[in-house]
Structures are given as structure tokens and as C-alpha cells.
Structure 1
């Protein structure tokens, strides 16, 4: 376990090295997880470890307020999340090394914001079930608000500890803190949705992966229509959580995309978020 201070926060990070020395100019592969009960561990076995074994240097970290990263009362908007990412990369000292961002669910949204803000840094995107539409924001707000009410002053964490279900108790306690003691819900409510013009500004290679039964497929198709170098892979028989895919189709698609984009170099110019 490792912790790195970036800005005012201490972030929980994990770095995975390739078995053989990686090309120092190749992109660092950075994984961004989803909201509330998610953390860096969801990537470890399905994608992060295979990526490292395939020769990529990998960085995983718990987003602000999630997992073992510090949990401030505010700052859960996408602009701050991008600043957190940039500050963490600066603290780790990769210099001008490019990055390939792999984002799951809301982490895919953050990865897309980062690519639009820093085309000079982000050379590739892999977006797993990215929520891109305003309708998703409304549905998520309803879900988060209902969860917040059910967790407020709930005895569930103590009951889980009593049953020695420590991991479940910890995740429940984190969800309660995030939903009831931070600005996360308000910050999500104020998030900006993407437009076709945003997608048209994406010049790096983009792979979008969705489950066949996911409500997010339509938004993914909209991105692919407008981003010149984007493509969509739909995994049959799955819904939103494609990370649970066990046949190897997800892993194969992601590793192929990482390999194909390893030599891509960033575009000139930078837009500071």
C-alpha cells in the first residue's frame, strides 16, 4: 500500500511495473474507477495486472473521498477531479510522459474530461460503460439521494461489523460519509454534459466498451459518431458492469487497444482545466 500527497490530499495509489523495463516514452496507463462504493481494487485482476504483464507501466489510485484516499467535505466535481489527476501525476514525477486513461463508469466521464482539458498529455482513452448523457445524471442523482436517505443514521455498518463482515461494513460507512457528509451529490448535479462539439475535439484513439443491455449504449454511439478515432465494442449478454465479464473478451479488447496506441504521441497545445 502506498500513499502520495498531491495538493491538499493524500491519495492511495498502486503502481505496477512491467516484467521487463517499459519504454520510458510509452504512455503510463492510469485507471479511474467509478462512484461511491468503487475503488482501485476493481481494476486490479481484470485489467491492471494483465496490462502490466503485457508490458505497460500502470498506475491505479482511489479517487478523492473513495477507498483509502482522504475524504474532504467538498471538491467532487469533474474539474477538481481532473486537477487531482494532474496533481498526482506531477507528484509522482513522470515529467512530460503521456498517459492513456482507462475509466470505468463515472471514471470514464472523468477520463473524457481530462482528455478534453489536456490533449497534450492524454494519448488514448479506454472508456468502460461511460455515462455521457444528462438523463444518466438525473437517474444517478435519484439513486444517490435514495441511498443517502437509507444510510443516514443507519445501524447497518455496526451490524455488519457485529457479523464480522468488515469489508462490507467499511464500504457502507464510506458510502454514508460520501453521500451524507460531502458535497458529492450536489457536485454531480452541477456537472456539465458532453456535446457533439466536445466529441469532435477528441483526436486521440478512443475505445468505448458497453454491455449489450446497458442503457448507456446510445450515448456511446453518439460519441463514436462525432469522434473521428473512436470505436465501440458491445459485449453480448452484459449490462452496466462489464468489469465482471469473465470470458476474456473485455481483457482482450482493452489490451489490444493499449498495444495499438502505445506509440501515439500527444498533440501540441494544452488547455488548463
Structure 2
């Protein structure tokens, strides 16, 4: 575990390096930045799913806890989308990452990725999101519902806890996490009040984009703006899955993302390693 100071914030960061080349020669590996979602989430959702396959595929992997989450400093206020995008920009500067990066975002993490790319298109090589929307008026309208749904989901988990002690322990841990974040910060007020980037800036994103959704989530609502603003984006639906598809189906997500990276960002990827991990 490492703590770095970025944007005036003490941030928890984890990094994974790719394997050393067989020749022993040093090579410049592309950087993959993994951004998690709101309230219930931390960098652990990436660490336990896609981080090691990406490192094995030849990427320098960077994961971090968002402000107010995990081990990163929890300020009482300052949780608008711009704050999270500023944090990402500052973290890359602090880590001296100057080349184009591959951004991976789960849920709100994907919205941060789109927000960063709208502001710094030249700094992004590819974007791969899971259950995420670009920051548009439709997204902003849906945010309060999602925050409410998180609370309702936790209540349902508690109701089922009696018949499944393991599930009850997990629900209690999640309830404690989201309760602390929402009670101690202005996140629930700030995110829905976020300033949106101009739509033309989102439409100007030219890097390859992959958007993955669970078939049982709100796919139609989520994909409307993606199809309108980013018509070249690839949209993949995983049948029978909901919002937690990254955690529930990590191997499936890996098998979607790694071949796409070879195709969309092959000039940045280690083809030999990608082929080995694909199988």
C-alpha cells in the first residue's frame, strides 16, 4: 500500500508492474488506470478482478481509492464530478505519468474516465467502462435514483441475512461503508449538482471506447447518449447480469476487454502477453 499527496489529498494508490521482458531489456509499458465506483466501491473491486490480468498482459496498472472512499482521505465536502476529474489529473502528474493512458471505469468510475477524456483527449489512449454513462443531463437525472437504489439494495440484503450468515456479514460491511460515506460527506448532494462538460467535448473523444453492461441493468437508458455522442463506441451486453457484473463475472469481463485492447489499442499492448492471457 502507498499513500501519495495529489490535489491536496492523501490518496491510497496500488500499482502492479508487468512481467520483465524475457530478453531482460527494459521496455516502456503502457499505463492502465482503474477507477472504481461510488459509495460501496473501492479499488479492491479492480484488484480482485482485472488488475492482475492487465499487468500480465503488459500494462503498468494504477488503482486508487476515490476521495472519501477506502483509505483515501475523507474530506467533508467537495464531491462534484470536477473534483474527481481533478484528482485523477493530479494523481497522474504526481506519479509522473505523461503518456496517453488506458482508462478503465466501473460505474461512476467510467463517468470520471469520460469526464477526464473530455477535458484531456490527447492524454487518453482507450476507454473501457463497465455499467457507466458519460456525464450528460441524462446521467445527472439518474444519479439521485442510483444513490437511493444503493440504500434500498442494502436494506434488501439485510432482509435476506437471516438465511445466509455470509451474505449478512457482507451486507453489514457494505451498509457500514455507504452509511459512513453518506453521513460524513456531501457526496449525495454534490454529485447530482455536478457541472457537466459540454456535449461537444464528449463527442470529440476520438480514442477507442468499449462500454460493457449487464443485460438486466438499465441498458437502454445508459446507452442512449453513448450511441448519440460516441457512435463508434463498441457496446457489449452480458446476458443475465446486473450492475455488479464486474465482480460477479470477472473472467467474462476479462475475456471481453483483453481481445478488444489488442484490436483497438494494439500499438500500445504486448500482443504476446495478451494472447497468453486470453487463453
TM-score bracket, shorter-length normalisation: 0.7 to 0.9
Q: Measure, in 2, the Cα distance between the counterparts of 1:129 and 1:65.
A: 21
Change (3 A) 1:3 1:171: farther
Q: TM-score, normalised by structure 2?
A: 0.79
Aligned position for 1:20: 20
Q: Contact 2:127/2:207 (CA < 8 Å) preserved in 1? A: yes
Change (3 A) 1:148 1:196: same
Unaligned runs of 5+ residues in structure 1 are 157-162, 265-273
| Residues 1:250 and 2:256 aligned together | no
Aligned position for 1:208: 211
User: Displacement of 1:250 after TM fit?
Assistant: 1.3
User: Displacement of 1:257 after TM fit?
Assistant: 2.5
Q: Measure, in 1, the Cα distance between the counterparts of 2:228 and 2:145.
A: 29
Give the length in aligned residue pairs: 251
Aligned position for 1:118: 120
Aligned position for 1:141: 144
Instruction: Give me the CA root mean square deviation.
Output: 2.9
Q: Deviations over 1:73-114 (max 9, x none)?
A: 1121111111101111111122x2211110000111111000
Q: Contact 1:212/1:239 (CA < 8 Å) preserved in 2? A: yes
Aligned position for 1:35: 38
Q: Contact 2:82/2:195 (CA < 8 Å) preserved in 1? A: no
User: Displacement of 1:199 after TM fit?
Assistant: 3.9
Larger helix share, 1 or 2? 2
| Residues 1:224 and 2:227 aligned together | yes
Q: Contact 1:103/1:128 (CA < 8 Å) preserved in 2? A: yes
Unaligned runs of 5+ residues in structure 2 are 159-164, 269-279
Q: Deviations over 1:203-228 (max 9, x none)?
A: 00000000112103443253134325
Change (3 A) 1:142 1:234: closer
The within-5 A match list for 1:50-61 is 50-61=53-64
Q: Contact 2:215/2:242 (CA < 8 Å) preserved in 1? A: yes
Q: Contact 1:130/1:220 (CA < 8 Å) preserved in 2? A: no
User: Displacement of 1:47 after TM fit?
Assistant: 0.8
Q: Contact 1:130/1:216 (CA < 8 Å) preserved in 2? A: no
Secondary structure at the counterpart of residue 202 of structure 1: coil
Q: Measure, in 2, the Cα distance between the counterparts of 1:231 and 1:143.
A: 24
| Residues 1:184 and 2:187 aligned together | yes
Secondary structure at the counterpart of residue 248 of structure 1: helix
Q: Measure, in 2, the Cα distance between the counterparts of 1:10 and 1:184.
A: 18
Secondary structure at the counterpart of residue 263 of structure 1: helix
